[in-house]
């Protein structure tokens, strides 16, 4: 089903975008629609539910509202398996509901960005249904099909690539045609064949439909997966003893992706003043990612990288296996490389700590103990708002939401990645004669699972935290009546929500926090300190953050010693999460005594 194209509602694209374009200083708020707000009492978020919260987002300081997928979908992977790109799923509402949300967002001076999942689609998409119907069908080549190989007298997949989800092959056998199709994620998510120009042409048409209807841009899911090795060769053995291996650079960040994005820009994006960010997992250096956002390349405005999301993960950092002994110095190293390196390479950073695929940052980096949580959430807000790049806030981050309770059993987890990871890991342990240790595996999931960020938004102290009057599709966090909700925090001056409002406003007030050069300082491992300096407006700020966790993760006091050569004689405190300090106070004696999880930002 498609819908009629309406008059273009986007503003004409400027001929010469400024190096201080609007999107650089923007705050983007990610809505996970299933868990945000339900107006219909069906236990599932809706478009009109989101519309009802637009004034709240405006008051928070949001400039762009990004919707995770709301398209028609069988929901094998929470909407990231799309069966119709041109219509909302009935669970969310109708096209008219989307139009109403668009109008409300625009009325409040904000922009509405859609998710674009075009590395793969759903097995129930009409394209794939046609492709499966016959080897001679014109849509057959819109997907990636190969004959199997023979090994030890058995038919096996075309190569040894491991699916991102679970621990099985990326190939699924189609009995009628006697061929395999490629799926880098679930078998219900067949990969699209971007080598086919007719497929790309259809994708460009679909993008124009949304932009002409009034969408203001796209977040592009795993866009750097779209280029595959032309020969689909076997991946190197990096996990001995396992049949399937990570495909890595054989289907991630290949140079051909840049050609595809240049074509996308020429055929679509050049005609619109739109906001485009590409999700780009992988382990390559900064210089492999910067070309996506260098303006002269005419591709995207920025990308999401995952390097800072692997700091507490074992192995390559691309999975859900926890490394409980991660070090803050390694965490800082990644952020330093990207905040310095992206600017040096002429690109632009996306700046996010949480999203729908990650645990809650207050539980992950600091302490979510009831006595620490508010303090820590404010420290993280200071960190987030003082980094380079466009800010992305994930729903609930602004009120300090935490990971799911430790008491929850594994039956509460809904995410297919978690389920398949656990099933695949247990199967491998049984096959290898290793202890299953289900409890240990469940404990890991409580720290790393995607479900941590997908619990329903907590609006007030009413039933189901005000998310829905029906039975929620996923259990609401147990702490919603303990002050961890929007209504209570909006009335409390010292709340995390009020602090986030202050930080987002501060970032716009002091442009060095947006455009200034990032200058990391030599400090103790558990203190993160850096300057943000903008010589064009003679503005410089000093950020000092105490991330020392202590043996019990409850934090410990630290001393920051001002590095030689850094003039702090005129320092004035702008913001801190230490309620006992007065704004405007300075730095004396070349030292700053920091309490547990304390942060400060000074104007120099």
Q: Other C-beta atoms within 10 Å of 23: how many? A: 21
Cβ-based burial of 144 (10 A; exposed 0-12, middle 13-18, buried ≥19): buried
Q: Sign of torsion, CA 220 20 504 49?
A: negative
Please answer whether residues 178 and 185 qualify as being in contact, where contact means their C-beta atoms are separated by less than 8 angstroms: no
Question: Distance between CA atoms of 498 and 444, rounded to whole angstroms?
Answer: 32
Instruction: Name the region of 271 (left: φ>0; alpha: ψ -120 to 50; beta: rest).
Output: alpha
Question: Distance between CA atoms of 171 and 149, rounded to whole angstroms?
Answer: 12
**Closest by CA position to 379, among listed 173, 158, 597:** 597
Question: Distance between CA atoms of 85 and 98, rounded to whole angstroms?
Answer: 14
Residue 279 a catalytic site member: yes
| CB proximity list for 97: less than 8 A, separation 6 or greater | 46, 47, 48, 51, 88
Cα(first)–Cα(last) distance of the chain, in Å?
A: 58
Please answer whether residues 252 and 281 qualify as being in contact, where contact means their C-beta atoms are separated by less than 8 angstroms: yes
* HSE, side-chain direction, 13 A CA sphere, residue 545: 24
Long-range Cβ contact pairs of 255-260 (< 8 A, separation 24 or more): 255/227, 256/194, 256/227, 257/223, 257/224, 257/226, 257/227, 258/291, 258/292, 258/297, 258/299, 260/194, 260/200, 260/226, 260/227
How far are the Cα atoms of 517, 519, 529, 566 from residue 522, in angstroms, in the given order?
A: 16, 10, 8, 11
**Closest by CA position to 321, among listed 456, 478, 167, 469:** 167
**Closest by CA position to 280, among listed 292, 272, 269:** 292
Residue 556 a catalytic site member: no
Rounded to a whole number of angstroms, the CA Rg of the chain reads 24
Q: Across the strands, what pairs with 67?
A: 31, 114
Considering the candidates 123, 221, 273, 479, report the single residue annotated as catalytic: 221
Please answer whether residues 146 and 229 qualify as being in contact, where contact means their C-beta atoms are separated by less than 8 angstroms: no
Considering the candidates 123, 279, 417, 526, report the single residue annotated as catalytic: 279
Token pair of 70, please? 């709301």
Active site residues: 221, 279
């Amino acid at each position: 089903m498609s819908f009629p194209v309406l008059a273009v509602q986007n503003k004409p694209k400027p001929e010469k975008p400024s190096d201080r374009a609007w999107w650089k200083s923007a705050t983007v708020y990610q809505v996970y629609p299933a868990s945000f707000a339900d107006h219909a009492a069906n236990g599932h978020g809706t478009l009109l539910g989101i519309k009802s919260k637009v004034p709240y987002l405006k008051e928070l300081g949001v400039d762009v509202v990004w919707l995770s997928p709301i398209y028609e979908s069988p929901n094998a992977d929470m909407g990231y398996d799309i069966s119709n790109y041109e219509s909302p799923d009935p669970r969310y509402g109708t096209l008219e509901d989307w139009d109403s949300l668009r109008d409300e967002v625009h009325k409040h001076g904000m922009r509405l960005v859609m998710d674009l999942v075009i590395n793969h689609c759903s097995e129930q998409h009409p394209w794939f249904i046609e492709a499966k119907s016959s080897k001679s069908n014109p849509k057959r080549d819109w997907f990636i099909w190969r004959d199997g190989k023979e090994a030890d007298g058995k038919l096996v997949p075309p190569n040894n690539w491991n699916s991102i989800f679970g621990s099985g092959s990326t190939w699924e056998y189609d009995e009628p045609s006697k061929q395999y199709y490629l799926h880098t994620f679930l078998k219900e998510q067949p990969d699209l064949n971007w080598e086919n120009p007719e497929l790309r042409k259809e994708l460009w048409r679909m993008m124009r439909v949304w932009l002409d209807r009034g969408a203001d841009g796209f977040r592009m899911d795993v866009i750097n997966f779209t280029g595959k090795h032309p020969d689909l060769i076997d991946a190197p053995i990096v996990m001995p003893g396992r049949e399937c291996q990570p495909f890595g650079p054989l289907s991630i960040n290949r140079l051909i992706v840049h050609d595809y994005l240049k074509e996308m820009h020429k055929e679509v994006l050049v005609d619109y003043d739109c906001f485009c960010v590409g999700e780009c997992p992988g382990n390559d250096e900064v210089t492999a990612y910067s070309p996506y956002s260098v303006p002269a390349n005419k591709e995207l405005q920025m990308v999401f990288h995952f390097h800072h999301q692997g700091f507490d993960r074992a192995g390559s950092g691309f999975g859900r296996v926890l490394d409980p002994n991660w070090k803050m110095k390694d965490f800082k190293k990644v952020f330093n490389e990207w905040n310095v390196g992206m600017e040096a390479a002429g690109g632009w950073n996306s700046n996010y700590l949480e999203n729908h695929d990650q645990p809650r940052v207050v539980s992950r980096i600091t302490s979510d103990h009831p006595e620490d949580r508010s303090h820590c959430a404010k420290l993280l807000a200071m960190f987030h708002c003082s980094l380079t790049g466009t800010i992305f806030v994930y729903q609930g981050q602004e009120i300090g939401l935490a990971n799911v309770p430790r008491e929850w059993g594994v039956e509460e987890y809904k995410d297919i990645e978690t389920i398949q990871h656990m099933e695949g890991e247990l199967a491998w342990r049984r096959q290898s004669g290793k202890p299953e240790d289900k409890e240990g595996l469940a404990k890991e999931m409580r720290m790393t699972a995607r479900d941590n960020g997908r619990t329903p938004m907590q609006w007030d102290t009413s039933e189901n935290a005000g998310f829905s009057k029906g039975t929620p599709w996923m259990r609401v966090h147990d702490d919603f009546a303990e002050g961890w909700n929007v209504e209570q925090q909006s009335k409390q001056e010292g709340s995390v929500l009020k602090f986030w409002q202050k930080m987002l406003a501060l970032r716009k007030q002091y442009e060095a926090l947006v455009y200034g050069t990032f200058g990391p300082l030599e400090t103790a491992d558990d203190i993160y300190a850096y300057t943000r300096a903008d010589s064009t407006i003679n503005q410089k700020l000093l950020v000092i953050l105490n991330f020392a966790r202590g043996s019990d993760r409850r934090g410990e006091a630290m001393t920051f010693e001002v590095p030689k050569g850094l003039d702090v004689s005129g320092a004035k405190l702008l913001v801190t999460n230490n309620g006992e300090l007065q704004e405007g106070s300075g730095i004396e004696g070349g030292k700053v005594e920091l309490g547990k999880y304390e942060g400060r930002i000074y104007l120099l």
